[in-house]
Amino acid sequence: MTNHIRPETHKHMEKKHVCTLCKSNQIQVFLSLGPTPPANNFLEERHIDRGEKFYPLDVYFCLDCSHVGVLPRIDSEELFSDYVYLTSRSETMLSHLESLSDTIFDRYLDDEEEALVVDIGSNDGSLLQFFQEKGVNVVGVEPAENIAREARKNGVPTINDFFDEETAKLILEEYGLPDVVMATNVFAHIPELDEVTKGIELLLDEGGAFIFENAYLPDLIENKEFDTIYHEHLYYHSLTPLKSYFQRFGLGIADAERVPIHGGSIRVFVEKDPQISDRAKELIEFEEERGFTELQKYRDFAEEVKGIRQDLNSLIEELKRNNSRIAGYGAAAKGNTLLNYCRIGPEELDYVVDNTPLKQGKFTPGMHIPVKTPRHFRNDYPDYVLLLAWNFAREIIAKEKEFLEQGGKFIIPVPEVKVVGKEFLEKT
């Protein structure tokens, strides 16, 4: 996932506080997570005293179309200028991408002679490689130069640019009409979403499909995943608002299903003039029945989020009173929302462990906790670990069995603050 914006066109976003999807000004902020620096701006030690910029992190609900998003407060140029997020090379992620490619292949590509798949925000080409293994032609679109280069090195043809109508025309000229256009975890990061949707529309003919995956708003709310809210995540999608959104572009939702990745995601199949599937219809009904089209749902959520902050702070206070040592696990962007919102800093956490070389040796944005390697962790076990990357709980806990066996404990912050010890190993 990387950003998909031409920075120069977005200087004035701050002024128009309207719903991104339907452009209504009937939007209501229901949650303010406080002044927060961009969640991926890890700091070098020498920059710590320079001062960082903090921005309000406010989330709105659109009374007209039920869309939920973060109020755009930061110039995208600043937000994304150093954005160097490589698709997590976790086993969990790769096996998810492989199974996604299998599903798409069986459904759309099996009978095609010269199938073509386009991936928007193709990152290092991980997803497209699975299609290549099936004999499918591919082209990725990736705006980050270093990451696009990495993808090409992996043998994945990659256009190093933002995706919009212009890029779509270039693809048509050079590669022809794709059978499938994909976007995983990018459709929530694009300030000028309409430009991207117009480009997608150009790439779809009657048999074509656009398939995207993103965190699913009802999962976020029900699992209290408030920490997945940060400035780069502009939108929290559900089907109800998207249905009318796509209609404006002559597209429609053909199908949708929930998938268990990133704390609960939705996979949406968009086509031209589709019949909507029963399971997509059921999801839309589910959203309405469960109150996701009402402001009250979100007000209740905001109260629950405050409760988590209280519980976590009391627990940490108590552990510190007993002189326990605590570290964080996974310097994920969402970890930074949690740490900043709960004001958990180096007084509370000795360090945060992360296996990404790019983050190691740096300091977390806002709270300035040092990021250390897994080796450091294994040589210096704390008593407790606050699991910041809870979406990889299974993988991380399995990897750190020894820590648990030696009496270490994990603090899992969502959906409710919970402490688990080695008994957890028997359960998983």
Min dist CB 408 to ligand TMP, Å, is 16
* C-alpha pair distances (Å), 88 with each of 38, 85, 108, 260: 19, 8, 27, 16
Q: Which among 394, 165, 140, 365 is positioned nearest to 260, based on CA atoms?
A: 394
Q: Which among 149, 153, 156 is positioned nearest to 97, based on CA atoms?
A: 156
Residue from 330, 365, 382, 413 binding ligand TMP (CB under 6 A): 330
The reply on whether position 354 binds ligand TMP by CB under 6 A is yes
* Window of 163-171, 186-194, 198-206, 325-333 that interacts with ligand TMP by CB under 6 A: 325-333
The reply on whether position 68 binds Zn ion by CB under 5 A is no
Q: Of Zn ion, ligand TMP, none, which one does residue 399 interact with (CB within 5 to 8 Å by kind)? A: ligand TMP
Annotate 3-65 with DSSP letters as a single string: ----GGGGTTGGG--S-TTT--S-EEEEEE--SB--TT--B-GGGGGG----B--EEEEETTT
**Residues binding ligand TMP: what is the number (CB under 6 A)?**
17
The reply on whether position 19 binds Zn ion by CB under 5 A is yes
* Window of 58-66, 179-187, 261-269, 389-397 that interacts with Zn ion by CB under 5 A: 58-66
Min dist CB 161 to ligand TMP, Å, is 24
- Between 84 and 419, name the residue whose CB sits nearer to ligand TMP: 84
Q: Which among 360, 317, 321, 370 is positioned nearest to 342, based on CA atoms?
A: 317
Q: Is the dihedral angle over the CA atoms 8, 9, 12, 18 positive or is it negative?
A: negative
The reply on whether position 396 binds ligand TMP by CB under 6 A is yes
Q: Of ligand TMP, Zn ion, none, which one does residue 396 interact with (CB within 5 to 8 Å by kind)? A: ligand TMP
Residue from 118, 148, 193, 332 binding ligand TMP (CB under 6 A): 332
**Residues binding Zn ion: what is the number (CB under 5 A)?**
8
Neighbouring CB atoms inside 10 A of 154's CB total: 15
Residue from 1, 5, 13, 62 binding Zn ion (CB under 5 A): 62
* Window of 16-24, 173-181, 286-294, 315-323 that interacts with Zn ion by CB under 5 A: 16-24
Q: Which among 371, 325, 366 is positioned nearest to 348, based on CA atoms?
A: 325
**Does residue 28 contact residue 60 with C-beta atoms inside 8 Å?**
yes
The reply on whether position 144 binds ligand TMP by CB under 6 A is no
The reply on whether position 39 binds ligand TMP by CB under 6 A is no
Q: Could you give the string, one character per residue 81-120, with x where binding to ligand TMP holds by CB under 6 A and - elsewhere?
A: -------x-x------------------------------
The reply on whether position 331 binds ligand TMP by CB under 6 A is yes
Structure tokens at 145: 């130069």
Residue from 2, 185, 214, 391 binding ligand TMP (CB under 6 A): 391
Contacts of 74 (CB under 8 A, 6+ apart): 38, 55, 231
The reply on whether position 355 binds ligand TMP by CB under 6 A is yes
**Does residue 147 contact residue 2 with C-beta atoms inside 8 Å?**
yes
* Window of 13-21, 156-164, 283-291, 375-383 that interacts with Zn ion by CB under 5 A: 13-21
Structure tokens at 45: 């030690």
Q: Of ligand TMP, Zn ion, none, which one does residue 392 interact with (CB within 5 to 8 Å by kind)? A: ligand TMP
CA 398 remoteness from chain centre: 23
d(CA 146, CA 143): 9
Q: Of ligand TMP, Zn ion, none, which one does residue 395 interact with (CB within 5 to 8 Å by kind)? A: ligand TMP
Backbone angles phi, psi at 404, to 5 degrees: -65, -40
Q: Of Zn ion, ligand TMP, none, which one does residue 65 interact with (CB within 5 to 8 Å by kind)? A: Zn ion
Contacts of 321 (CB under 8 A, 6+ apart): none
Query: In one letter, which amino acid is 187?
Result: F
Min dist CB 263 to ligand TMP, Å, is 9
d(CA 227, CA 60): 15
* Window of 28-36, 208-216, 292-300, 392-400 that interacts with ligand TMP by CB under 6 A: 392-400
The reply on whether position 392 binds ligand TMP by CB under 6 A is yes
- Max CA pair span of the chain: 67
Chain residues that interact with Zn ion, rule: CB under 5 A: 19, 21-22, 24, 62, 64-65, 67
- Which chain residues interact with ligand TMP by CB under 6 A? 88, 90, 330-333, 353-356, 359, 389, 391-392, 395-396, 399
